[in-house]
Structure formats: structure tokens, C-alpha cells
Amino acid sequence: MAKLSSMPSIVINQELLAPFGAEWKQRGGSIGRTPPYSSGALGKIFDSAVGEALSTMLGSIPIVVPSPNALTATQADCVEVGPVRIIGGVRPQNFDVGYRPDGVRFAFDSKTLNDASSIRKNWQNMVNDLATEATTVHSRFPHAVVAFMVICPEPAIGEPQRSALIETLERLARRVSVEDPVYMAEVISLVLWNPEDGSLVSNSPHPNSPLRLEKFSTQVETAYVNRYKGLPPHAADIIQPTTDIDA
């Protein structure tokens, strides 16, 4: 049985983001869809970091690539780093990281908005997508921990969009109890990065905000432990039900 441990903080190597910054500057403040420095590849850096940290928390269990369109994991106890196919209460949805040993326990999606025009036009639609994805999972798996990361180059998100986005995401990231609304998420991080050198911006969101990246792992761990500690596959001892009936 895998023993739960602390979830490591999500750490993103500055050197991994620097080439995306060079691409962003070369293209005049945007990132395209063509590898190797595409918006999808940028998201995968964060997906991999979340998958590795989740695996450690769950007892250093294997990390696998899901089978396309598979509704269950390929191994009995593993972390899947996407696309993870989940059939929820609203629509089928692919997530980027998942843990589903007996149904969905953890689902994570990263969202990248990469230029000023896209952020102005699409941030509200993106928020609607987050709420729909959370509803999709929670309406069928109310105990599941749903987490998101929204990742933007810092120069592309000015005011009033930045404040509006932060306030909206903070309202959405308030699902503590399984009785809370299904459209909310347990954890959301807003990650702003600097295209000049690939560093993460340290002063936004505010240090007290639940959206801070350094709070992501602690929030995931707290939610997961509160709901699943002591249950298989983490239980130290599994009590077998008796079939004896007193005469």
C-alpha cells in the first residue's frame, strides 16, 4: 500500500521557460502553436511538475501516459500525465493530470493565455471553461480534488484585466467541502512569468492570495488528505468484512 507523504512545492526551472520568452519576444508578444516552443509545450512543463509532485505525495507511485480515450488508468495505482479522459456530468473532458484509482480523485488542467489581445478577449471565456470543467468532475465525483493553473506572460496582462482575473479566480477557488458548489475548484494558481529571462513573477498575485503558486501543493495536499486519508490504497491495514452470522 502506498503511504501518503507531503506534496513537494511546484518548482519551475527558469531555463525551461527562457526559450519560450525568446519566442514570445521574436513574435512580437505571442506564442504560436508550432513546436518546440508552442503554447501546448509551455503548459506541459507545468503539467509534468504537477504530476511529479502528486506522485511523491501519493507514495512515489508510477507516472504513466494515459491511453487515448481510456476511461480508466492503465495501472492500478498511478498518476497519469495527460490527456486524461473523464466522462463527467456535463461533457467528456480531457485533463492534463489525473489520479483515478477507483474513479476520479484528482484532476488538473493548465491554461495558457499568451498575448495581450488573447487575454483581453478570452479571459472571461477561460474562466467559464474552468467552472464547466469543475462542474463536469464534481457532479459525478463530488469528493474529487480539482485544480487549475492559469499561466500568462506578465507583460501581456495589464489593468483592469489583471485585477479582474485575480478577483474572479479567487472567488472560484473556494471549494473546501464536498457540499460546496460543484462549479468551484479546490485549488487554482495564477502564474505570471517574465519573457525576458523565464523567471516567475514574485509580486503578483498578492502574497496573501490563495492563487500563489507556492501555495498550490499545500492546498492540494490538505484537500486530498481530508477526503482520502486512511482509505485504500493509502490505508495501513484493510479490515476484511466478516461473513459470520450469529445463530
If pLDDT is split at 50, 70 and 90, which confidence band does 247 have? very low
Residue carrying C-alpha cell 450469529: 246
Q: How many CB atoms lie within 10 A of CB 201?
A: 16
* Interval 163-203: pLDDT, tens: 999 999 999 999 999 999 999 999 999 999 999 999 999 99
Whether residue 241 is predicted with pLDDT greater than 70 in this model: the reply is no
If pLDDT is split at 50, 70 and 90, which confidence band does 236 have? low
Give the integer Cα–Cα distance in Å for 126 and 165.
10
Threshold 0.85, pTM exceeds: yes
Dump the DSSP string for 176-237: -STTS-TTS-SEEEEEEE-TTTSPBPSSSS-TT-TT-GGGHHHHHHHHHHHHHTTSTTS-SS
Establish whether the linkage from the previous residue to 153 is cis, with ω within 30° of 0. no
Give the integer Cα–Cα distance in Å for 107 and 92.
13
| 8-state DSSP, 34 | S
If pLDDT is split at 50, 70 and 90, which confidence band does 245 have? very low
Residue carrying C-alpha cell 507511485: 61
Q: Could you tell me which of 130, 140, 128, 126 has the C-alpha nearest to residue 95?
A: 130
Give the integer Cα–Cα distance in Å for 244 and 247.
9
Whether residue 237 is predicted with pLDDT greater than 90 in this model: the reply is no
In percent, the amount of the chain with pLDDT more than 70 equals: 95
In the chain, domain spans: 14-228
Whether residue 226 is predicted with pLDDT greater than 90 in this model: the reply is yes
- Specify the pLDDT at position 68: 82
* Interval 137-146: pLDDT, tens: 999 999 999 9
Whether residue 243 is predicted with pLDDT greater than 70 in this model: the reply is no
